[in-house]
Amino acid sequence: MGYQKLGVNTGHRKAMLRNLVTSLFRDERINTTEARAKEVKSIAEKLVSTAKKGDLAARRQALAYIYEEDVVRKLFDSIAPKYSERPGGYTRIIKTGHRRGDAASMVILELV
C-alpha cells in the first residue's frame, strides 16, 4: 500500500517525519497522532536495524536521515546495543485518547 500522505505536501511530510524520528531517538518517547506514529514507527524500526550493523556505511545512512549528529551518536552507542538480541519490534504505541480541538486519535510512541 505504501505510505500515508498525512495531509501535507511531500517536502513538508518528509521534513515532519525526519523531525519526529529525530525527536523519538533523542527523547525516547513522543506524543503525536496515531497516523503519524504509525509512519514514524516503520522508519524508526528500519533505522534501529541499520544501526545494529554498526559499520560506517550504516552510520552514514542514519546521518543522511536524522537531523542531529548527537542523536545519531546516541542511536549507535546506546539505543542499538540495547536491542542486539531483539529481532524487531523496538517501538510501542500507547493510545491516549482524542485531542480536544479536532478529536484526532493521540498516542505515545516510545522505544521499548
Give pLDDT tens digits for 5-40.
999 999 999 999 999 999 999 999 999 999 999 999
State pTM to two decimals.
0.95
Within 10 angstroms of residue 82's Cβ, the number of other Cβ atoms is 13
C-alpha–C-alpha distance, residues 64 and 28, integer Å: 20
Domains and CATH numbers, the chain: 11-111 (3.90.1030.10)
Q: Which long-range contacts (CB under 8 A, 24 or more apart) does 80-85 make?
A: 80/48, 80/51, 80/52, 80/54, 83/48, 83/52, 84/52
pLDDT of 1: 59
According to DSSP, residue 101 is labeled: T
pLDDT tens digits, one per residue of 44-96:
999 999 999 999 999 999 999 999 999 999 999 999 999 999 999 999 999 99
Are 93 and 40 a contacting pair, CB within 8 Å?
no
CA atoms of 38 and 93, how far apart (whole Å): 8
Phi-psi region of 107 (alpha: psi -120 to 50; beta: other; left: phi over 0): beta
CA atoms of 33 and 97, how far apart (whole Å): 10
**DSSP for residue 91:** E
